[in-house]
Amino acid sequence: INLIRPIFENKDQVVVVYSRKQTEHLLSDFGCVINAFVEDISLKKYIADFSDKEETLQEVILFYHLPEQFPAYSLFKLDSILDSMLKENGQTSLYRDIELPLAKVLYDMEVSGFRVDEEIINELNLKYKSILADLTQKIYDLAGEKFNINSPKQLGTILFEKLNLQTGKKKN
């Protein structure tokens, strides 16, 4: 830990990890605090290639055909690949301004804890999963195909090229 502590505690450092929350939990067990700017590959992958399935680093490395035997190199390459995908999909701001700061908040909540009514949470979870599944299917039916609804680029293609919807003019 003494070898990596200066890297993670240096506020001028950029560090690429698979999961910021997992890394922060692990480092906190050794009294190490993250001050560096952390790029979160799992979060980028979740946004760029939306999937509700949790994936391991090894699964993501294999998905992008990167060498398993060099995980540090693969993390570096994934960072570049996923940055390009986020930029292409218009999702960079979503990652930088919303999801990345939220990961820190979620970590703090996990450490501090909070009270919830588990029964109500489970009921709401079922209710909203069902509503989301219904709405998602309606969108696919209207579009005539499945696509990444969270991708502005793919959504734009469906709305404006396939369905020929008119773009609205911004008013001052």
pLDDT digits (tens, 9 = 90+) for 2-50: 899 999 999 999 999 999 999 999 999 999 999 999 999 999 999 998 7
Dihedral pair phi/psi, residue 51, rounded to 5°: -155, 140
Res 62: pLDDT: 94
CA dist., res. 24 & res. 66, Å (int): 25
CA dist., res. 155 & res. 157, Å (int): 5
pLDDT digits (tens, 9 = 90+) for 67-121: 999 999 999 999 999 999 999 999 999 999 999 999 999 999 999 988 889 999 9
